[in-house]
Amino acid sequence: MDRIHISPVVGTMPVVDIGPADVEAVAQRMLSQGLSPKTVRNVLTYLHSVFEYGIERGLVSANPVRHVTRPGRRRQGDVSPDLRFLTVEELEAVIRGIPDEVVVREPAPSRKSRSGPAPPRRRPTSWVRCCGY
C-alpha cells in the first residue's frame, strides 16, 4: 500500500511536512488511475492511523488526513455501472439450456459403516512387482 499508492506522491517528504493538500494529492492520483472510491478510502484510513500513531509517539503534532474530504460512498440504491441485466431473449436461452430430466447421483460407497468415499482400490501385487511401483 505504501509503496504503490502513498510513496510515489509523498515518499520523499519528511512526515512533519505532509499536509492536507499532499494527502489529497494521493487520493486524486489514485482516483485518476481508475481505482474505486472504496480503495481510496481504505488507503486514507490507513494513512490516518499512521498519523494518529505518530501523534501518540510525539513524532507529528497534527493529522493532515483529518482535514481531507474522502471520496463519496455508493448509496444502497445506486445501480452499479458494471451491472448488466439479461434481455428477455437471453433469459429464455438460459432457461432452455436447463435440462428437463432430474439427475440422480449415486452415493459413494461407504467403508465399513463409516461415511465418506471408499479408498482407491489397491493394485494387484503382481502389477506392482512387474512395473516397479
Q: Is 100 inside any structural domain?
A: no
Q: Is 125 inside any structural domain?
A: no
The residue segments making up the domain with residue 19 are 2-67
Q: Is 118 inside any structural domain?
A: no
With residue 82 as reference, give the H or E element that holds it: none
Return the pLDDT at 63: 92
Number of domains in the chain: 1
Q: Is 9 inside any structural domain?
A: yes
Series of mean pLDDT values for 10-residue runs along the chain (133 residues):
72 84 89 88 90 90 88 66 82 89 72 64 56 49
d(CA 104, CA 106): 7
Q: Is 61 inside any structural domain?
A: yes
> Which of 102-122 are b and which e, b meaning 16 or more Cβ less than 10 Å from the residue's Cβ?
eeeeeeeeeeeeeeeeeeeee
CATH code (residue 22)? 1.10.150.130
What's the pTM value of the predicted model, to 2 decimals? Answer: 0.53
Q: Decide: 44 and 23 in contact? Cβ < 8 Å.
A: yes
Q: Is 20 inside any structural domain?
A: yes
Q: Is 27 inside any structural domain?
A: yes
Cβ count near 39 (within 10 Å) = 16
